[in-house]
């Protein structure tokens, strides 16, 4: 089995206060996953889970900041008008977030004080297939998979010295 690394420097993290989870080679759009991760980074765990459920129910849109020319506008997006409801990617990121929450619970961390310190999505392996064309030819068809990483950190209680 390969040993997966994280794009965040794990030596800087306190292993007693952090929990991490990753999903490798998930079949979702890396563009959608990147925008969702950018939005939920820095949120508290409960708020992020509720936000992702609202995206799946099409109540809140994910603001898009890159590659947004001619992208539809959604009234629910804060600060920016361009946005979408990437349901498939939101479901996968919610699963990864719940996995990180389970890892934190297993470590004995306080679930109510967890904050997302690192959320990243980037392209993974390409799946190469062929589409049949006219006159016995074929064209390549690539599907890019996605790696999703989430790191949760326990936020110190008010009055507690970090």
The model's confidence at residue 82, banded by pLDDT at 50, 70 and 90, is confident
Question: Does 12 fall in a domain?
Answer: no
Question: Does 159 fall in a domain?
Answer: no
Least confident piece of the model among 17-26, 76-85, 140-149 = 76-85
Tokens of 74: 């959604």
Inter-CA distances, 5 with 9, 21, 142, 145, Å: 9, 11, 25, 17
Model confidence at 68: pLDDT above 90 = no
The CATH number covering residue 109 comes to 3.90.470.10
CB 63 within 8 A of CB 35: yes
Question: Does 77 fall in a domain?
Answer: yes
Tokens of 57: 């129910």
Question: Does 1 fall in a domain?
Answer: no
Is the pTM of the predicted complex or chain greater than 0.85? Answer: yes
Domain count, the chain: 1
Instruction: Write out the residue range of the structural domain in which residue 135 sits.
Output: 17-154
44: DSSP letter: B
Question: Does 161 fall in a domain?
Answer: no
The model's confidence at residue 135, banded by pLDDT at 50, 70 and 90, is very high
pLDDT tens for residues 14-61?
889 999 999 999 999 999 999 999 999 999 999 999 999 999 999 998
The model's confidence at residue 78, banded by pLDDT at 50, 70 and 90, is low
Model confidence at 4: pLDDT above 90 = no
Model confidence at 86: pLDDT above 60 = yes
């Amino acid at each position: 089995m390969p040993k997966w690394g994280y794009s965040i420097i794990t030596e800087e993290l306190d292993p007693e206060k952090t929990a991490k989870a990753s999903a490798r080679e998930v079949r979702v759009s890396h563009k959608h996953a990147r925008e969702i991760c950018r939005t939920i980074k820095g949120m508290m765990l409960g708020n992020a889970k509720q936000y992702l459920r609202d995206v799946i129910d099409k109540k809140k849109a994910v603001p898009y900041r890159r590659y947004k020319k001619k992208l539809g506008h959604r009234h629910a997006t804060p600060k920016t008008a361009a946005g979408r409801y990437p349901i498939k990617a939101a479901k996968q990121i919610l699963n990864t977030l719940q996995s990180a929450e389970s890892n934190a619970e297993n470590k004995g961390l306080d679930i109510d004080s967890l904050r997302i310190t690192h959320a990243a999505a980037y392209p993974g392996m390409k799946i190469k297939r062929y589409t049949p064309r006219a006159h016995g030819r074929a064209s390549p068809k690539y599907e890019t998979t996605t790696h999703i990483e989430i790191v949760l950190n326990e936020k110190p209680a008010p009055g507690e010295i970090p």
